[in-house]
A and B are shown apart, each in its own frame.
Chain A
């Protein structure tokens, strides 16, 4: 995890201008540029650079997956042998039905799981089938596991940076 706060000021302004969505007008990048005092071309080249460096994962439609019929959403969690977790995490993450897969710290005694994999399906039975597939892949390296089904989306706005940077993030980029 990065702890530095080095965002190019114009990139930061672009994040702020687009994090709630692109303007739905024929020339959206020109409209953003106009608001920021730069050309539409610069907006496009900066967004392209952020895409290339991975600061933007993708540009497009972000659907509400409940509305697409993906009502069963299981966060599967596994207590996997530390010596095996990276190999198995990569394997679990490569399954087509896994949308996110991370290694995270255990929080003992409350939480013994160190591998998290999100599985989406149109029904709970479909998710259960996929969880069985994952259990077979992980095999005996797994000591315990659980599936946390979602009941409700309480909030889904995506990332929102503050409109005004705090003092620390105004620090010059020297780290």
Chain B
């Protein structure tokens, strides 16, 4: 990651223009041509610096449902259970954490019933209980980090 990539990440974690040629407008602010910006973003997606480039949806505002879930899985079973969890399309992300509850993942689906069904299927396939932690109140969300 060089200085140009860093500048792109810092400038473009939001506010990507909704204009006909958005890469031209965004590139101009960074001193990059449209083609150069597209190529930089493509390369950062390919090497894993970026996980995605596009809209970040807040699915609940569209009538969908997000639930944080946790499982306590013995170390010897972790890879098997993680594969079951990750294999579900509804699982948006999954982290291994240092705790007795060592798998923490987010289930995102179109309604609460679909979230529950996913959680039930993970329990059945893994043989371990899933604890769910639906949010009761959101105080702050702004995942923007300086590169």
Flag whether B94 is at the interface (Cβ < 8 A).
Answer: yes
A1-55 CB contacts (< 8 Å) to partner B: 1-7, 11-12, 15, 18-22, 24-30, 40, 44, 47-48, 50-51, 53-55
Q: Among B61, B98, B111, point to the contact of A151 (Cβ < 8 A).
A: B98
Flag whether A160 is at the interface (Cβ < 8 A).
Answer: yes
| Alpha-carbon distance A165/B63, docked complex (angstroms) | 13
Q: Determine whether the beta carbon of B95 is less than 8 Å from that of A153.
A: yes
Distance of B145 from chain A, by nearest CB (Å): 6
Taking CB atoms, residues of chain B closer than 8 Å to A166 are 110, 114
Q: Determine whether the beta carbon of B142 is less than 8 Å from that of A99.
A: yes
Q: Determine whether the beta carbon of B63 is less than 8 Å from that of A59.
A: no
Q: Determine whether the beta carbon of A155 is less than 8 Å from that of B94.
A: yes
Q: How many residues of A contact B (CB 8 A)?
A: 85
> Interface majority SS on B: helix, strand, loop or mixed?
mixed
Flag whether A172 is at the interface (Cβ < 8 A).
Answer: no
Flag whether B60 is at the interface (Cβ < 8 A).
Answer: yes
| Alpha-carbon distance A60/B21, docked complex (angstroms) | 14
Taking CB atoms, residues of chain A closer than 8 Å to B63 are 2, 4-7
Distance of B25 from chain A, by nearest CB (Å): 11
Q: Among A19, A22, A25, A63, point to the contact of B57 (Cβ < 8 A).
A: A19
> Interface majority SS on A: helix, strand, loop or mixed?
mixed
Taking CB atoms, residues of chain A closer than 8 Å to B4 are none
Q: Determine whether the beta carbon of B65 is less than 8 Å from that of A90.
A: no
Contact with A along B3-44 (1 / 0, CB 8 A): 000001100111110111111100000000010001001101
Q: Determine whether the beta carbon of A162 is less than 8 Å from that of B89.
A: yes
Contact-residue bracket for chain B: 35 or more
Q: Among A18, A54, A101, A156, point to the contact of B140 (Cβ < 8 A).
A: A101
A86-104 CB contacts (< 8 Å) to partner B: 86, 89-90, 92-94, 98-104
> Can you sample 25 A-B contacts with CB below 8 Å?
A1-B60, A1-B66, A2-B64, A22-B55, A47-B18, A55-B61, A55-B62, A56-B55, A57-B57, A57-B141, A58-B15, A59-B54, A59-B55, A62-B52, A63-B49, A63-B50, A63-B51, A64-B49, A64-B50, A90-B139, A93-B140, A102-B135, A103-B137, A154-B86, A166-B110
Report the 6 A-B pairs with minimum CB-CB distance, sorted nearest first.
Answer: A93-B140, A93-B139, A58-B14, A55-B61, A155-B94, A89-B139
Residues of A within 8 A of B (CB): 1-7, 11-12, 15, 18-22, 24-30, 40, 44, 47-48, 50-51, 53-65, 67-68, 70, 73, 75, 86, 89-90, 92-94, 98-105, 107, 110-111, 116, 120, 146, 148-162, 165-166, 168-169
Supplied contacts A4-B111, A24-B45, 19 more A-B pairs, CB within 8 Å:
A6-B63, A19-B55, A20-B54, A22-B54, A26-B34, A40-B20, A67-B1, A89-B139, A92-B139, A102-B135, A104-B136, A154-B103, A155-B93, A155-B94, A157-B92, A157-B93, A158-B92, A159-B59, A161-B59
